[in-house]
Amino acid sequence: MTAIVSLRAVVQEMDVHSDQHHAYLNKRTGELVTIGDEEINIVESGENIEDYPEWQREAIRKTQELVNSDEYLPLPSKFDIHEYANMERFCRSRDDRDVRERLLYYIHGTGAFRLFKDAIRELGIVDDWYLFRQSALEEIAIDWLDANGIQYTSDDW
């Protein structure tokens, strides 16, 4: 049996991805776990965890549990989230033609992410972007949860 998980918690975990950290869901308990590349490397190398500080030993133990279990599923990664595609969809969703064209211009080429963020600040539509992005992350999370047969609650939104 799988646990019922919080959609909000899954989305929040997806929103803090980095290249060095990976988020997982324990499909039995509903626990969300983030592990780092460093802990993965330690576990894979078989190093003695007693050589590490106590705070890191706990993370290493959790990584060992995760690596040796089939109960953990990786959450959608930044590659599944397609941040650039979300930015482009946001740009195309703007009703004002000038705003839409300006945003689309800025997201092409070098520095697209920075230019986009500068432009939404200038245009005063930062909140619109974050609401749009939140909705996109929710859709991705719901699709992922459904595809993995995991029940969720959205009561806490």
Tens of pLDDT, residue by residue over 43-68, are 999 889 899 999 899 999 999 999 99
Confidence at residue 16, expressed as pLDDT on a 0 to 100 scale: 79
The mean pLDDT of 14-37, rounded to a whole number, is 89
- pLDDT tens for each residue of 66-100: 999 999 999 998 888 889 999 999 999 999 999 99
Confidence at residue 1, expressed as pLDDT on a 0 to 100 scale: 60
The pTM assigned to this predicted structure is: 0.85
Domain residue ranges in the chain: 18-75, 79-136
The mean pLDDT of 18-42, rounded to a whole number, is 91
Q: Is the pLDDT of residue 156 over 90?
A: no
Q: Is 149 left (phi over 0), alpha (psi -120 to 50) or beta?
A: left
Confidence at residue 76, expressed as pLDDT on a 0 to 100 scale: 94
